[in-house]
Homo-oligomer: A and B are copies of this chain.
Amino acid sequence: MKSSAVLLVNCPDQKGVVARIADFIYRHNGNILFADEHGDAELNLFLMRIEFDSTDLDFPLTDFSRHFDPVAREMRMNYQIADMSYRPRLIILVSKYDHCLVDLLYRHQSGELKCEIPLIISNHEDNRPVADFYRVPYVTVAVTKDSKSQAEQQILKLLAERNPDFIVLARYMQILSNEFVEQYPYRIINIHHSFLPAFIGARPYHQAFARGVKLIGATSHYVTDVLDDGPIIEQDVVRISHRDTIEKLIEKGRDLEKVVLSRAVRWHIENRVLIYGNKTVVFH
């Protein structure tokens, strides 16, 4: 059976990087399937994603570091290696709105999202039936004004027990504390229902309506300790008109949020996203 792996590289720009990596893979009997790279001249930075056929590799992929570390050291690379057959573990946090959750679960079941979903955590009971339908465990952790920090502790414990690779906030309506976020750096993906950086914070559709914009947007980004400010993974917009009431904006926005979030989740799973500074490179 065929197997493949992805190598993500981040290093100072320098002559011969591609040659060294390509040569390494070739000498160990891999076959490059896709290669994509990006240089940031200003930052003198070189970023690369290489997907290669690892079926005939002359060492087990689990030993990759041992073999590649000398190259990496010499070239001052940061890198990640991922077995493409590995299905990362995703835990979803959700409140009452179900459109993003339903969409993710459907795409998971249909095979589009190649991950495991060991758990859904919510502060409400509402979405239990759909979780049951898709046979994903569902746990509620109620959050009140006073229990916020306690609830976070409880969620962190649930997460720790399931050991997720990443977390998706599928319209989870609680703001996470910095302590929480720092446990999963660049491993929490949020969907914000505006074209960031416009309309940061609460009720962005209402803000958009009030400003009279002609397009509304949605933004998927990694969560950092500044609200709605993390590296953007994907954005999209849809045209609206004066005929659209706030209710219609929210409805149109739902379709946008689903699509934007699912793209981001998918690219994250497929190891297509490289973070540098407060930005991302997405290798398609």
Contact = CB atoms under 8 A, between A and B. Distances in A.
A212 B241 contact: no
A109 B86 CA distance: 35
A39 B34 contact: yes
How many copies of the polypeptide does the oligomer hold? 4
A241 to B, nearest CB: 7
Nearest to A255: B259
Contact of A234 (B17, B214, B235, B279): B214
A166 interface: no
A195 B215 contact: yes
A213 B17 CA distance: 28
Interface string A10-37: 0000011111011101110111111111
A15 B24 CA distance: 12
Interface size class of chain A, counting residues whose CB lies under 8 Å from the partner chain: 35 or more
B26 A19 contact: yes
Interface of A: 15-19, 21-23, 25-27, 29-39, 41, 98-99, 102, 106, 110, 112, 129-130, 133, 195-199, 211-215, 217, 231-232, 234-237, 241-243, 245, 251, 255, 259, 277-282, 284
A39 B35 CA distance: 10
Nearest to A281: B242
Given A16-B26, A22-B22, A22-B23, A213 B232 contact: yes
Contact of A212 (B19, B217, B231): B231
B33 A36 contact: no
A237 B237 contact: yes
Given A18-B26, A195-B198, 6 more contacts: A19-B32, A22-B23, A195-B195, A197-B213, A212-B279, A215-B236
Contacts of A112: 251
A213 B242 contact: no
Interface-centre pick from A22, A26, A284 (highest chain B CB count, 10 A): A22
Contacts of A99: 106, 110
Contacts of A133: 129-130, 133
Contact of A34 (B17, B27, B29, B37): B37
A271 to B, nearest CB: 15
Contacts of A39: 33-34
Contacts of A255: 259
26 contacts: A15-B30, A15-B31, A19-B26, A34-B37, A34-B38, A34-B39, A34-B243, A35-B37, A36-B36, A41-B245, A99-B106, A99-B110, A112-B251, A129-B133, A130-B133, A133-B133, A195-B198, A196-B211, A212-B231, A212-B232, A212-B278, A213-B232, A214-B232, A214-B236, A242-B282, A243-B284
